[in-house]
Chains A and B, each alone.
Chain A
Amino acid sequence: MVTELSTIERRHVDGAGLSDIRERLDRGERLTFEDGVRLFTTHDLGALSALANRERQRRWGDLTFFNRNVHVNATNVCEASCIFCSFSRLKTGDAAAYTMSLDEAVGRVKALRDELITEVHIVNGLNPDLPWEYYLDLLRGIRAERPDLHIKAFTAVEIHYFAEKYRKSYEQVLRELMAAGLGSLPGGGAEIFHPRARKKLCDDKVDAEGWLEVHRTAHELGMRSNCTMLFGSIETVEERVDHLLRLRALQDETGGFQTFIPLRFHHENNKLQRLREPTAYDSLRTYAVSRLLLDNIDHIKAYWIMLGVELAQLSLDWGVDDIDGTVREERIYHMAGARTPQTLGRAELIQLIRDAGRIPVERDTLYRIVAEA
């Protein structure tokens, strides 16, 4: 396992004017806000790969994680008006709106009775027409159907919405959901924390402090969670770095984040159609800078469904060590125009990782190894 820079990589990094950052990484020192901005604006994708890949290799060598899960989006009805989202302001009764009955939602899991999946991933719209019991029954129903599956469900945005709508504290909401079967929180809804960008993107969504407080509470209750950043819409480089450092600060406090997932902005079927989507360059540098700044978060995950196979492969050289699993059903990105195939089989995913020169390892939600592929 190679964890040192080669001669030419080092020259390349230093030639890009990053020798001081390299030396600090050599010594295992933490990078600063200014470092993050410089890395984002360096215009040297090779140097970023060299530095980020070294951190990846130090943590995981060539191991590349994936898991097998089923995604359930039980409802897309949503009160929020996020301008980047195709579900924005969908009301019950709208043509594109749907809300699954409990039988339907549990049926999604039941249908995969014979599949070797380890996780159910549930995220929903903020639906004003559902009772609190709906969510508890959803968890209970899935747990009864497949007690072996880990349920990772509800973004911090949903938890916040539940707390307001059903007049409970974050802790009460989380405790009740945990009792019904909730295993961990997904990382969605973070978008961009900085108030300027957040106001433009999702003014009526929980703010940064609320998002972080939900995760802090979850971590204190013993749950693990993930975290995300929506990149490539209207945020500045400084706002990206600010976002990453807010996550790093909470992680210093609680240690509860497992994985950071940069989410690439998709522009179809939403209010930002005039914006171009981030290019490969932007995706790869964002993975790399995330790996370098988030020194206290174990994993950086690429969501292959939004990148396509080739870029997902390349991302493994820019700091990514996890490729999101064999997704069974995914509506959010596909409504926003993602053109990648809906599912990759396990064998295809393993081949994808091997072809990229890495070692595939199947994990469960908590990164316990299911099988070395």
Chain B
Amino acid sequence: MAPKIRVACVGYTNAWPLTRHLDPATFDVRACVPSAAARLLNQGEVDVGLVPVASLFDKGADWHIVPGLCIGSDGDVDSVLLVGETPIEEWDEVVLDGESRTSVVLAQILLRGPLGRAQLPVRAVDAGTGAFHAQGRVGAVVIGDAARNLPARLTTRVDLGRVWKDWTGLPFVFAVWAGRPDLPAAAIAGLSLAAARGLPERASAPEADRAYLQNAIRYDLDDRALMGLRRFVALAQGAGLFGPGDLCLYGPSERSRPRVSVDALLAKAVSGERLSREDALRLGADASGPDLAAAADERRGKLLPGRDVTYLMAGNISLAAVRERGAQLAAAGAVAAILQPGVAEAGSLDACADAIRVLKGEFALSVTGLGADDLVGLALAAGTSPEAALEALVRAGLDGFGGAPVRAGASARPQWRAMHRLAGDLGLRGPATLTIGLGESRLARTEHLLDVREFHGDELAAGRPGVSAFSVWTGLAGAPGRDDSAQAWLRVVALSRLILDNVSHVTAWWPTVGLGPAQTALFAGADDLGPVLLDGDALAAPGRSWTTDPEEVEHHIRVAGFRAVRRDLDWTRLVPVVVESDGRYARF
């Protein structure tokens, strides 16, 4: 059973229509004065409370307002008054009863505005003692039930709801239901339900309260009430009586979505159950980054027990200086060369085939790489079909296909699918990718992952190899507003582990984010660091340099508590790296 929602309620007469029908199965109710409700909320003692509007602007308050409900007025409110034994013009001080800060602020604004007593000194007194202090030339703000049972000596009684209405033409809002931003939807529904049951019962309230509850107090937080509320907040902020901040209502915004059902989706993903399209989109939009990372880490642990992290002794290669680079890679211990994206622009199909033959024949390197666009480009330039072009490359020895960076949505394009299917027909496979930070939405990122999952599933069903791994690249380092921060990248890495339930390996593609964030991704679903002998700027984000030292990569794996394992293109040959233990120092 879900834990009960802890709710702070005001014991005032005007609150009971909202509170008396709170379902005890859902809510754990605590009664208090308005300022205490805010304090309990601030201290995390309760999840939601009926709080004075003023407390929404307390330092550190980050509460959302439950839509539709409030305690307000639209004219006389009867329970928020300025009182005194003498007329307001004769007062030389006014005391402010601390029981409701909203009323106190309202009084101050009205004294400066329509009541024309801007210079009147004010003094705070203990909650509930306002009427006692109102003597002689001292006036007082009194609120709540005390305001409705005043001693006869207090002949001046100015209704602040009325003054506000006459001044602004708008309703006034004294209190709202406010709670922590992640309040479950069930709680919001429960509050609305309680009001729906409680408000009709005003008709059978005791005679003394009936007119007050039915006519003076207004419980609708409708558009007019919101206008009044916003006007009041603006005036109070302008007068320096409220801190900065905006009003925030529970609604469809990302932060205020209930977290409960995301937990269920995360658990589903961890168990390995397939996420529906809706599930995936929901996680992609609503789950927090840390939650996604934690779930992806658990999923990876179930799928790939042990603490192995693989990487590939491989480097990129262009068609310029094939032998030189091939020799360099071989000398560095490479097992594979990756034809870097853009080879179609740099050379012909024949040059490409020659390069493959050289790399395999002279340096014993596996050769992979190319993307759909490269293949189409090579075929067009050679005046042949992509099928014939790819067959020629396979005859030359090409071992794998894919791994070129693509934009969100690319894997849904017919050409991408056709070329990868073609490669699959010839027994080739390779990684699928996504580049973030090119202006795509979060939705588009998740859709891309779903497209890859679907493609891979179709390929497997057709007896073709599909994709070998998935990696996320970042596009334009440092471009503002692209949502490609380290956090954004980690988020998509984690999502890919959770959504791509049919792909075994997630590569933390470090050249574009750096080895540090990539190391962090090993705790967010990634199990591989990909090729480590990369060179040149062709694959890096602009302005970024990176190490090409395999030992540095191994070091990053090992110190994070994993075992470094060298792999081949297909994860068929796995060689753990043995290093001397260096356990004495903390430095890692």
Contacts and interface: CB of A to CB of B under 8 A. Distances in A.
Contacts of B488: 355
Contacts of A4: 44
B290 A50 contact: yes
Given A1-B181, A279-B515, A314-B517, A40 B586 contact: yes
B480 interface: yes
Nearest to B270: A8
A7 B258 CA distance: 13
A351 interface: yes
B40 to A, nearest CB: 14
A282 B588 CA distance: 6
Interface in A1-48: 1-4, 6-9, 11-12, 15, 40, 43-46
Contacts of A311: 486, 514, 516-517
B62 A275 contact: no
A232 to B, nearest CB: 5
A46 B556 contact: no
Contacts of A279: 515-516, 519, 555-556, 559-560, 588
Contact of B290 (A44, A53, A235, A276): A53
Interface string B495-532: 00000000000000000011111011001100000000
Given A234-B587, A235-B587, A281-B588, A310 B517 contact: yes
Given A310-B516, A313-B487, A355-B487, A8 B294 contact: yes
**Counting chain B CB atoms within 10 Å of each CB, which of A50, A239, A310, A352 scores highest?**
A310
A308 B514 contact: yes
Contact of B513 (A15, A235, A282, A310): A310
Given A2-B181, A279-B560, A280-B516, A313 B555 contact: no
A208 interface: no
A119 interface: no
Interface string B229-270: 000000000000000100000000000000100010011001
B519 A8 contact: no
Interface in B450-492: 478, 480-481, 483-488, 490
A265 interface: yes
A94 interface: no
A280 B588 CA distance: 9
A46 B587 contact: no
A9 B515 CA distance: 25
Contacts of B490: 314
A239 B181 CA distance: 41
Interface string B274-312: 000000000000001111011101100000000000000
Contacts of B515: 279-280
A11 B263 CA distance: 11
Nearest to B307: A43
A284 interface: yes
B523 A45 contact: yes
A195 interface: no
Nearest to A353: B485
Interface in A186-200: none
Contact of A317 (B483, B487, B513, B519): B487
A8 B587 contact: no
A355 B486 CA distance: 9
A186 B520 CA distance: 30
Contacts of B484: 355
Contacts of A307: 516
Contacts of A280: 515-517, 519-520, 556
A233 B290 contact: no
B585 A50 contact: no
**Counting chain A CB atoms within 10 Å of each CB, which of B266, B293, B486, B587 scores highest?**
B587
Contact of A235 (B244, B294, B585): B585
Interface residues of B, number: 52
Q: Chain A contact residues (Cβ within 8 angstroms of B): what range? A: 35 or more
Contacts of A240: 586
Interface string A330-345: 0000000001000000
Interface in B333-370: none
Interface in A37-95: 40, 43-46, 49-50, 53, 61
B421 interface: no
A136 interface: no
Contacts of B290: 6, 9, 46, 49-50, 53, 317
Given A279-B560, A281-B519, A314 B586 contact: no
A278 B560 contact: no
Interface in B530-564: 545, 552, 555-556, 559-561
Contact of A314 (B263, B267, B520, B552): B520
A236 B584 contact: yes
Given A6-B291, A46-B293, A282 B587 contact: yes
Given A61-B60, A314-B520, A276 B297 contact: no
A357 interface: yes
Contacts of B267: 7-8
Contacts of A339: 545
A309 interface: yes
Contacts of B180: 1-2
Nearest to A45: B523
B212 to A, nearest CB: 36
Nearest to B61: A1
B560 A43 contact: yes
A114 interface: no
A233 B486 contact: no
B182 interface: yes
Given A8-B263, A8-B267, A232 B520 contact: no
A356 interface: yes
A231 B588 CA distance: 10
A212 interface: no
Contacts of B297: 12, 46
Contact of A46 (B60, B259, B294): B294
Nearest to A10: B294
Contact of A12 (B294, B480, B513, B588): B294
A237 interface: yes
A281 B556 contact: yes
A356 B520 contact: no
A244 to B, nearest CB: 12
A233 B263 CA distance: 41
B585 A234 contact: yes
Contacts of B520: 45, 280-281, 284, 314
A4 B3 CA distance: 14
Contacts of B486: 309-311, 313-314, 356
Contact of A7 (B263, B485, B559): B263
A325 to B, nearest CB: 18
A372 interface: yes
B490 to A, nearest CB: 8
Contacts of B478: 309, 348
Contacts of B513: 310
Nearest to A241: B586
B487 A232 contact: no
Contacts of A356: 485-487
A282 B520 CA distance: 10
Given A44-B523, A276-B555, A6 B588 contact: no
B481 to A, nearest CB: 8
B586 A50 contact: no
Nearest to A352: B485
A46 B523 contact: yes
B587 A275 contact: yes
Q: What 10 A-B pairs have minimum CB-CB distances, sorted nearest first?
A: A280-B516, A43-B561, A355-B485, A310-B486, A1-B62, A45-B523, A12-B294, A281-B560, A237-B586, A7-B263
16 contacts: A7-B263, A15-B298, A45-B520, A46-B294, A46-B523, A234-B585, A236-B584, A276-B555, A281-B519, A307-B516, A311-B486, A314-B486, A348-B478, A351-B480, A355-B480, A355-B483
